[in-house]
Amino acid sequence: MSAVGVKARTGSTALDLVLRFRALGLLVALTALVAVTTAVNPRFLGGQSVRDVLFAAAITVLLACGMTVVVLTRGIDLSVGSVLGLSAYVTASVLAESGMPTGPAMVLGLAVGAACGALNGVIVHFGKVPPLVATLGTLYVLRGVVYFLAGGSRINASDLPRAFLDFGNGRLLGVPYLFAVAVLVLVLVGVYLGRYRSGRDLYALGSNPEAARLAGLPAGRRLMTAYVLSGSLAGLGGVLYAARFGTVDASAGFGMELNVVAAVVVGGVAIFGGSGTVLGAALGALLLTVINNALPVLRIDQFWQQAIIGALILAAIALDRLVSIRAARALRQKGSHVD
Amino acid sequence: MSALARHPDSVPPQPVPVVSLRALSKSFGAVQALSGARLDLYAGEAHALVGENGAGKSTLIKILAGLYRPDAGSIELDGEPVRFSDTAAAMAAGIAVIYQEPALFGDLTVAENLFIGRQPKGRFGFIDRAAMNRRAAALFARLGVPMDPDRPAKGLSIADQQLVEIAKAISLDARVLVMDEPTAALSGVEVERLFGVVRALRDGDSGSDADAGGAAVLFISHRFNEVEALCQRVTVMRDGAHVSTDLLADVGVEELVRRMVGRDLGAMFPKQEVEPGEVVLDVEGLTRTGVCRDVGFQVRAGEIVALAGLVGAGRSEVVQAVFGVEDRDAGTVRVGGRELPSGDPRAAIRAGVALVPEDRRQQGLLLDLSVLRNATLPGRGRLSRFGFLIGGAERREAAEWGARLNAKYGRLTDAAGTLSGGNQQKIVLAKWLATNPKVLIVDEPTRGIDVGTKAEVHRLLSALAADGVAVLMVSSELLEVLGMADRVLVMREGRIAGELSRAEATEESVMRLATGQEAAA
């Protein structure tokens, strides 16, 4: 070690590329899937089909951004499906019944989500309840609240203002507004996580909570930020859901949390915290959506969809293991000083 | 090591201490960790805090660091009483702590680890990574350590992790620098460089914007030569209370040790002379790419052979490859004449090899499991019938070894993580001695444990050798190497640089081989 001077950063190797740009692998998988499906049916790349995918992916991408932030801190937010349902129902019902203008109603939906996120954060941080259990609890409680509010009723598109529905189904240069919103959120959250001190703190917290305490990082504030962000994005997801579908009943967003967790894991966010990017998570969400839409085209039975997603999750984790083993070996040889 | 032997300049204490800890008490459940501890630190002094494990040193500094709140007593900063609600508050007050166990963020880069929470900011409040990496590189240059600031902290050796912690503490430009055994994993050269930087901080000529008066340094160590090289005053603690504070020049090591343990100790290195027997462990041409190359040596029954060298010379890697926890790319390992397969620790255990690893918390113990389960883990085969463990036999064996090693624990069912460092090490030793090894490999056997336990471990190793066990010991502590070993193998950069007999081995001859300066000398 003594002979080596202070090393400048070494050039990127293929392994560095895989490590740093996990997203590349997902892009390759996505491209391959689209290519195969298009070869079977060229209409898969047609405008309508692509729009369907983007509409379907938008809300998952949005929620995956929030989930990533929470998972980075070694947490998980299982309540996002219920939060989405609650926000969608509240937004739609104030629009339909109280005649609240569209803008404030959308803000209200977002605020409902933020409040639910704050509740999660309080239970996790101040109650010291493991996130899995805390958000499993709020998953049921919040869904119960939606059932209480909605009863057996549903809100129909005909009750909602035209402008609201136009926003949910409109497009700008062929891109659905919904997807544009998701991309905007993705960029903002990505910049926050990568470039701001408080964003890096989230990685630190997930990487080594004890060290974070020794370093004097404000764990409570950061955890609250993460859960409120996840809740707010689920709330925003609820608003977009109502705008997109127009019909909202008590089951909106039911079971969605597992899709979101799957997207995040496939996207390379470490489930034990500390590493991963929102870009990866978003690509994971996109990949799962494309699989969903490609299977009918490929004439593969829908029953297989679940199995394929499961296999993808396992493959993603296997890849993580492989990469970390390879990385350990590479570090050993890089750090070596034996000729 | 010559700089270590130099006696430090005496700096006269100034009237108002930077930090004054008064009558601190703290208990955890039924255990009284501190009872009326006190300590004054002055600007420009390096102050040693010594005491056996469990004397309350770590609790004291954790209170100073804002991690614990005292049950009674007060902390004064420049004569003003303060209360630290958390570590951030203590840091803001200018207190930097290097903890005994490095705690890094594996997923972040080295530079981010140094500056987490206070990264340099550029446009839009973005983190300026280039500036951060430059500052990190400058810090490592000052410490004389080659380290890529942009690499992930994951995969760093313990020594390198400790160096990152040191760089982090130094970068805070603190008024009070607390070091809890910072040198445990470091080699002699690294220790000297660290001390150079710490002396500069202490004397206020660090070149940065530190106070002109210099920083107060609190240094906790079990190595008296380091204490003497760095410190002016020394405080002894025992059983959570203050025993004495003196100018180091006024008290001898013998006296300090006597105050620490409250009784006289036998010799620290009770080496018994043993006539070596047959070759038990025979290693030839051992090579592992990027780690070690063409390493060969023999250990006879009754012999203690030490592997010395700088951190990173490949000593731990060699013993791991011998034991089989790491594959070897070439070479043979024979135990009692029979060759061991590569990468198969179970075969090594069957052949009578035991390895007590370097990092007992990570590699030696299952911290959440009971003392009992830990102690009997490798002996499960012997202690079971038809695949079921026999509870009675397990308990008997664990209790027997616990007693033979004089380990102090509450109940056999207590989690191993609750024991003090020295007692944890005894449990790791018990676990392997219960397998009746023919070859005992110990990697840093006394790292971070107190003087009393250290002497017990040394006595034990010596007794085992006298019973005909072949002992291979990796140690960074030169006094331990010189005091215990029949032969010293010195490694440098993955190879064996030379072999010294007990008579030839001195601090100088070992360091010369370890640093590769035999030609220059």
Q: What gap in Å lies between CA A225 and CA A234, rounded to an integer?
A: 14
On whether the CB atoms of residues B105 and A211 are closer than 8 A, the answer is yes
Contact B155 A331 (CB under 8 A): yes
Q: Which residue has better confidence, A9 or A216?
A: A216
pLDDT of residue B99: 86
CB–CB of A204 and B105 under 8 A? yes
Please give the CATH topology (third level) of the domain spanning B2-6+18-104+156-261. Answer: Rossmann fold (3.40.50)
CB atoms within 10 A of CB B380: 12
Q: Is the CA virtual torsion B476, B481, B482, B483 positive or negative?
A: positive
Report residue B6's pLDDT band, with 50, 70 and 90 as the boundaries: very low
Asked if the Cβ–Cβ distance from A9 to B148 is below 8 Å, we say yes
A20 → chain B, closest CA residue:
B152
Asked if A195 lies within 8 A of B106 by C-beta distance, the reply is no
Chain B nearest CA to A227, separation (Å): 20
Give the model's confidence band at B361: pLDDT under 50 very low, under 70 low, under 90 confident, else very high. low
Q: H or E element: which one contains B367?
A: none
| Predicted pLDDT of residue A6 | 33
Q: Select the residue of B117, B311, B495 nearest A217 (Cβ to Cβ).
A: B117
Q: How confident is the model at residue B355 (pLDDT cuts 50, 70, 90)?
A: confident
Q: Computed over its alpha carbons, how large is the radius of gyration of chain B?
A: 24
**pLDDT value of residue B263:** 55
Give residue A3's pLDDT band: very low, low, confident or very high (50, 70, 90).
very low
pLDDT grade for B510, boundaries at 50, 70 and 90: confident
Q: Decide: helix, strand or coil at residue B176.
A: strand
**B190-206: average pLDDT:** 82
CA angle (A266 as vertex; A262, A270 as ends), nearest 5: 95
* A227 within 8 A of A77, measured Cβ to Cβ: yes
Q: What is the dihedral of CA B289, B495, B484, B346, to 10 degrees?
A: 20
Distance from CA of A76 to the nearest CA of B (A): 18
A200 and B116 within 8 Å at the Cβ level: the answer is: yes
Tokens linked to A286: 């996109």
Average pLDDT, integer, range B231-252: 90
pLDDT band at residue A108 using 50, 70 and 90 as cut-offs: very high
Q: Which of B104, B117, B291 sits opposite A201 (nearest CB)?
A: B117
DSSP string, B83-152: --SSHHHHHHTTEEEE-SS----TTSBHHHHHHTTS--B-GGG-B-HHHHHHHHHHHHHHHT----TTSB
Q: One fold for both B2-6+18-104+156-261 and B266-352+437-521? A: yes
Question: B417 vs A20, which has greater pLDDT?
Answer: B417
In the DSSP assignment, the letter for residue B251 is S
Residue B232 confidence (pLDDT): 92
Instruction: Please report the pLDDT score of residue B211 as a whole number.
Output: 45
| Cβ distance of A216 and B125 shorter than 8 Å | no
A21 neighbors A336 (Cβ within 8 angstroms): no
For a pLDDT cut of 70, what percent of chain B falls above it? 83
pLDDT tens digit sequence for A158-173: 999 999 999 898 888 8
Decide: B336 and B516 in contact? Cβ < 8 Å.
no
Q: Point out the least confidently predicted range of A109-113, A144-148, B65-69, B430-434.
A: B430-434
B155·A337 Cβ contact <8 A: no
Cross-chain Cβ contact B105/A212 below 8 Å? yes
Give me the mean pLDDT over the B410-421 stretch: 70
Contacts of B107 in chain A (CB under 8 A): 203, 206-207, 270, 274-275
- Check CB contact under 8 Å for A6 and B140: yes
| Distance between start and end Cα atoms, chain B | 14
Q: What is the pLDDT of residue A113?
A: 97
Task: Please provide the size of chain A in residues.
Answer: 339
Residue in A with minimal Cα distance to B114: A215
Task: Please name the residue of chain A whose CA is at the shortest distance from the CA of residue B494.
Answer: A338
Class of domain B266-352+437-521: alpha beta
Q: Mean pLDDT over all residues of chain B? A: 82
Chain A residues touching residue B100 (CB < 8 angstroms): none
Query: In this predicted structure, what is the pLDDT of residue A8?
Result: 35
Q: Cα A311 to the chain's mean position, in Å?
A: 19
pLDDT at A240: 95
Name which of A260-269, B265-274, B427-436 the model is least confident about. B265-274
The fraction of chain B above a pLDDT of 90, given in percent, is 26
How far apart CA B166 and CA B114 sit, in angstroms, is: 9
Mean pLDDT (chain A, rounded): 87
**Statement: residue B32 has pLDDT above 60:** yes
Instruction: Residue B66: list chain A partners with CB under 8 A.
Output: 216
For residue B151, which residues of chain A lie inside 8 Å, CB to CB? 331
Confidence at residue A132, expressed as pLDDT on a 0 to 100 scale: 95
Instruction: Tell me whether residues A333 and B289 touch, CB distance under 8 A.
Output: yes
pLDDT level of residue B364 (50, 70, 90 thresholds): low
Q: What residues of chain B lie within 8 A of the CB of A221, using their CB? A: none
**Is the pLDDT at A36 greater than 60, yes or no?**
yes
The minimal CB distance from B116 to the residues A3, A217, A331 is found for A217
Nearest CA-CA partner of B447 in B356, B355, B315, B358:
B358
CB contact under 8 A, B108 and A6: no
Q: Tell me, what's the pLDDT at A206?
A: 94
Q: Where are the domains of chain B?
A: 2-6+18-104+156-261, 266-352+437-521, 367-430
Give domain limits for chain A.
49-322
Which residues of chain B lie closer than 8 angstroms to A336, CB-CB?
Answer: 289-291, 494
> Which pLDDT does position B76 carry in this prediction?
93
Neighbours of B59 (CB within 10 A): 23
Could you tell me how far CA A228 lies from the centroid of its own chain?
14
CA B267 to chain centre: 21
**Shortest CA distance to B281 belongs to which of B313, B321, B233?**
B321
Q: Selecting from 3.40.50.150, 1.20.58.340, 3.30.43.10, 1.10.3470.10, what CATH number does the domain A49-322 have?
A: 1.10.3470.10
CB nearest A4 (choices: B107, B133, B146):
B146
Cβ of B108 and A203 within 8 Å? yes
Residue A299, min C-alpha distance to chain B (Å): 42
Minimal C-alpha gap between A214 and chain B (Å): 6
pLDDT tier, B247 (very low <50, low <70, confident <90, very high otherwise): very high
Q: Distance between CA atoms of B493 and B331, rounded to whole angstroms?
A: 18
Residue of A nearest to B189 (CA): A2
pLDDT above 60 (res A1): no
Q: Name the residue facing A196 among B127, B290, B292 (closest C-beta).
A: B127
Chain A residue with Cα closest to B99: A214
Closest by Cβ to A6, choosing from B112, B119, B137: B137
Residue from the list B88, B126, B151 with its beta carbon closest to the beta carbon of A195 = B126
Say if residue A49's pLDDT is above 80.
yes
Q: B290 vs chain A: nearest CA distance in angstroms?
A: 5
Tell me the DSSP string of B146-174: ---TTSBSTT--HHHHHHHHHHHHHHTT-
At CB < 8 Å, which residues of chain A contact B?
1-10, 195-197, 200-201, 203-204, 206-208, 210-218, 270, 274-275, 327-328, 331-333, 335-338
**Is the Cβ pair B121, A275 closer than 8 Å?**
no
Task: Tell me: pLDDT of B251 over 80.
Answer: yes
- How close is the nearest chain B Cα to the Cα of A263, in Å? 21
**B475 HSE (CA, 13 A, CB side):** 25
User: From CA B195, how far away is CA A272, in angstroms rounded?
Assistant: 38
Give the one of B86, B290, B310 whose C-beta lies nearest to A216's C-beta: B86
A213 vs B87, B137, B292: nearest CB: B87
Backbone angles phi, psi at B237, to 5 degrees: -120, 145
Minimum distance, in Å, between the CA of residue B370 and any CA atom of chain A: 22
Phi, psi values for residue B98, rounded to 5°: -105, 115
DSSP string, B14-46: PSS-SEEEEEEEEEETTEEEEEEEEEEE-TT-E
Contact check, Cβ <8 Å, B126/A196: yes
Count CB pairs under 8 A between chains A and B.
121
CB under 8 A, 24+ apart: contacts of A165-171: A165/A243, A165/A246, A167/A102, A167/A243, A168/A240, A168/A242, A168/A243, A168/A244, A168/A245, A168/A246, A169/A243, A169/A244, A171/A51
Which residue in A has a C-alpha nearest to residue B139's C-alpha? A6
Residue A254 binned pLDDT confidence (cut-offs 50, 70, 90): very high
The CA distance from B124 to A195, in Å, is 10
CA distances from A150 to A12, A53, A145, B471 (A): 55, 30, 8, 75
DSSP 3-state assignment of A333? helix
- pLDDT 10s digits, A194-214: 999 999 999 999 999 999 988
Q: Residue A114, SS3?
A: helix
Q: Do B155 and A203 touch (CB under 8 A)?
A: no
Interatomic CA distance for residues B58 and B44, integer angstroms: 22
pLDDT of residue B224: 81
Half-sphere exposure of A1 (CA within 13 A, CB side): 23
For testing contact with chain A, the best of B87, B104, B107 (most A CBs within 10 A): B107
Condensed to tens digits (0 to 9), the pLDDT of residues A305-320 reads 888 888 888 887 787 7
Asked if the Cβ–Cβ distance from A201 to B292 is below 8 Å, we say no
How sure is the predictor about A2, in pLDDT bands with cuts at 50, 70 and 90? very low
Nearest to B149 by CA among B187, B181, B119, B109: B109
Partner residue facing B116 (CB), from A1, A2, A215: A215
Among the ranges given (A4-8, A324-328, B79-83), the one the predictor scored with the smallest mean pLDDT: A4-8
**B105:A335 CB<8 A:** no
Asked whether residue A222 carries a pLDDT value surpassing 90, the answer given is: yes
How far is B57 from B39, CA to CA, in rounded Å? 11
A331 contacts B151? CB cut-off 8 A: yes
Q: Among A34-43, A230-239, A286-295, name the most confident range.
A: A230-239
Flag the least confident range among A101-105, B211-215, B294-298.
B211-215
Structure-token pair, residue B30:
């039924």
pLDDT of B277 higher than 90: no
Cα of B55 to nearest chain A Cα, Å: 22
pLDDT for res A295: 86
Q: Which residue of A has its CA nearest to B190?
A: A2
Task: Tell me the pLDDT tens digit for each residue of B132-148.
Answer: 999 999 999 988 888 89
Provide DSSP, A190-220: HHHHHHSHHHHHHHHHHH-HHHHHHTT--HH
